[in-house]
């Protein structure tokens, strides 16, 4: 099947078997290997990408489902040589060890900050009428779909906190 979508701002068209996941289309057909295949079951978050601004597990989504969509991967976050603030914060806070989960963590954090700005509550949001306060507990809950086998969570939290600013 023919599928056309935008990836990191560039129009792309692929002829794919309809069973190809978005993850495999990105990695194997477009050679965007920043998005990682971790569990291939939607449990670890290593394959997190943005589709029309919302984070998804690319391993659970068929590429042909994204006709006309805007897909953003970790490769699309930087502007040339200028890193996205979260990418820079992850480096500054040493928020990785092996680094395998890092692209998914960063992409997920980008979406998580946007969700908070939009006022979308999480499971731990106390006041549904007030602006979202990004406490450590709020960040941990919102990032809970992204696992780190090396347990770099304190540094990941510090990097996100650095970009998000202090809890109000």
Question: Which homologous superfamily does the CATH classification assign to the domain defined by 85-164?
Answer: [2Fe-2S]-binding domain (1.10.150.120)
| Residue 117: C-alpha distances to residues 33, 92, 110 (Å) | 29, 24, 11
Show me where the domains of the chain are located: 2-75, 85-164
User: Which of 168, 103, 91 has its CA nearest to residue 134?
Assistant: 168
Does CATH number 3.10.20.30 belong to domain 2-75?
Answer: yes
pLDDT in tens, 39-69: 999 999 999 999 999 999 999 999 999 999 9
Average pLDDT in the chain: 96
| 2-75 and 85-164 have identical folds | no
User: Which of 5, 45, 115 has its CA nearest to residue 14?
Assistant: 5
pLDDT in tens, 131-153: 999 999 999 999 999 999 999 99
pLDDT(166) > 80: no
pLDDT in tens, 76-93: 999 999 999 999 999 999
Average pLDDT of span 115-123? 94
């Amino acid at each position: 099947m023919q599928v056309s979508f935008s990836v990191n701002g560039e129009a792309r068209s692929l002829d794919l078997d309809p069973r190809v996941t978005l993850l495999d289309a990105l990695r194997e057909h477009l050679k965007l290997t920043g998005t990682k295949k971790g569990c291939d079951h939607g449990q670890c978050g290593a394959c997190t990408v943005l589709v029309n601004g919302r984070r998804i597990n690319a391993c659970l989504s068929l590429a042909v489902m994204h006709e006309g969509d805007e897909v953003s991967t970790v490769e699309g976050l930087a502007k040339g040589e200028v890193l996205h603030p979260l990418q820079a914060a992850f480096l500054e806070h040493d928020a990785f060890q092996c680094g395998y989960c890092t692209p998914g963590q960063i992409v997920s954090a980008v979406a998580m900050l946007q969700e908070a700005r939009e006022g979308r509550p999480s499971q731990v949001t106390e006041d549904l009428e007030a602006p979202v306060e990004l406490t450590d507990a709020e960040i941990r809950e919102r990032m809970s779909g992204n696992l780190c086998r090396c347990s770099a969570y304190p540094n990941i939290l510090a990097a996100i906190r650095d970009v998000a600013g202090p809890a109000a």
